[in-house]
Amino acid sequence: MCANNLLSQDRTDDPKTGSKNLWNTSDDKVLASYIQLTPKQSRNWCKETDVSDSSVRTGSVEPAITPQTKFAPSWAVIGIFLIALIWGVAYARSFLMPVVLGILLQLVFAPVRRKLERWGIGPGFAAALIVGTLLSLLIAGTIGLSGPVRTWVDRAPLIGFEIREKMDDLREVTEGVQKAAEQVDELTNSGEKEEEPGVQRVRVEEDTGLLAYAMSLPWVIAQIVFTLVLMFFLLSSGDMFYEKLVHVMPTFGDKRQAIRIAYDIERKLSRYLFTITLINAGLGLAIGLTMFWCGMPNPILFGLLGFLLNYIPYLGAIIGVAVATMVGFVSLDLAQEALLVGGAYFALTSIEGQLVTPYFVGRSLRLNTVVVFLSVTFFAWLWSVVGMLVATPLLVAMRTFCEHIPALQQVGHFLSARGYELEEDAPVES
């Protein structure tokens, strides 16, 4: 029958249509393994999709979407839809954040799961092994950081006072400005009515910051557990969703394109995050050694902080520089030394961002810096810390998807870095 013949035949290049061999890539072999039909199912599939053996051999498979079936909504409808979508995503953040994070982690670790399956390990046990390893690393990191973090939390009420004392070294530079400000205050307050004697002004200050963090801790733990459980179920299901995706696609060309897109997103996400993790590990080591050389307390904590913050493009480096400078004001003797610590942190992140990452990250994974910065800030506003972490992987997945769709190739080109051009032989099915 039609589908069984497709699995058993090798097609050569057609000189007229320029179509490529049907089963000449690893993705095609995966697709072939998904399409296992009985003779009756094969006849029905050929009738429903209107695909015959001759049409497939000649490359005349009709596209699922033709210019006549395209629908172009008005810009007003698009604007209303985008506003409603953003509002819905913000409203459902408690549910969507762990779902998106779990799906991204599943895409990243899917190649690892397949590697374990080739070694004879079942998908369920492989998923348990991957999730258990991540959970163990998370628990070990939390326990290791609990001591230094608790120390700094206990010192939090004194940090502001100590910073003000350290700033006395720099007060001479701003003394003139301060005197001018005092004179302006005297002029503006001279006409105000003096307070009645015996009246005492009472200021009530509430320190609810630590209490708010303590109350949000159970919610954070629940989100982490939900993410890991979802990741486990997605990994343990194997390629079930890919098989479902193949069977719901109407034509053979759509089936082949869907598998290529899914596997390409997996490959690029895994490659990107693996490369970034290695770069972040090197940066964290360099930051830890630099903090130790500068005489900063807990240099290991600073190394781990630099490792984690570097997953957040641009904003992570800004946060790291600010934290290092503030701790330097509290821990070091001179304000100039604290500024030197912040400058050293900034220099290391600049070298990583301008030299190391562009060298090791492939051209096909480089993104538009302006788009990355805007997406990170947008998702930070939308989903807080989790949004900053998932913004760049979502951009990588979106750009990879656009490369395979002819109508979206210009969008993919816009998301790419300067000087990058989309490959002319990108696997696109018309």
In tens digits, the chain (430 residues) has pLDDT values of: 454 444 444 444 444 444 444 445 565 555 556 665 555 555 555 555 544 444 444 545 455 555 555 555 577 888 888 899 999 988 998 899 999 999 999 988 988 888 888 898 888 899 999 999 999 988 888 887 777 777 776 766 666 666 666 666 566 555 655 665 566 566 555 554 444 455 455 444 444 555 555 667 788 888 899 999 999 999 998 888 888 888 888 888 888 888 888 888 888 888 888 889 999 999 999 999 999 998 888 888 899 989 999 998 888 999 999 989 888 888 887 778 888 999 999 999 999 888 888 888 766 677 888 888 898 889 989 888 888 889 889 998 998 898 888 888 888 888 887 765 544 444 444 3
Q: What is the pLDDT of residue 239?
A: 80
Whole-angstrom Cα distance, residue 315 to residue 328?
20
Burial (CB < 10 A; 0-12, 13-18, 19+), residue 311, is: middle
Q: Distances from the Cα of 212 to the Cαs of 142, 145, 206, 209, 261, in angstroms?
A: 19, 20, 12, 5, 43
Q: Distances from the Cα of 266 to the Cαs of 5, 260, 350, 366, 376, in angstroms?
A: 29, 10, 29, 16, 21
Q: What is the pLDDT of residue 330?
A: 81
Whole-angstrom Cα distance, residue 71 to residue 74?
10
Buried b (16+ CB within 10 A) or exposed e, 217-249: eeeeeebeebbbebbbebbbbbbeebbebbeeb
Q: Read off φ and ψ for residue 17, nearest 5 degrees.
A: -90, -20
Q: Using alpha carbons, select from 428, 8, 2, 57 the residue that is nearest to residue 254.
A: 428
Tokens encoding 13? 């290049």
Q: How many residues in total does the chain contain?
A: 430
Burial (CB < 10 A; 0-12, 13-18, 19+), residue 102, is: buried
Q: What is the pLDDT of residue 57?
A: 47
Instruction: Name every residue whose Cβ is closer than 8 Å to that of residue 334 and which is 6 or more positions away in sequence.
Output: 166, 169
Tokens encoding 417? 């870095």
Q: What is the pLDDT of residue 301?
A: 87
Burial (CB < 10 A; 0-12, 13-18, 19+), residue 252, is: buried
Instruction: Name every residue whose Cβ is closer than 8 Å to that of residue 152 and which is 6 or more positions away in sequence.
Output: 159, 327
Q: Name the residue ranges covered by the structural domains of the chain.
A: 1-56, 93-169+219-238, 250-259+272-430
Whole-angstrom Cα distance, residue 208 to residue 218?
17
Q: What is the pLDDT of residue 286?
A: 94
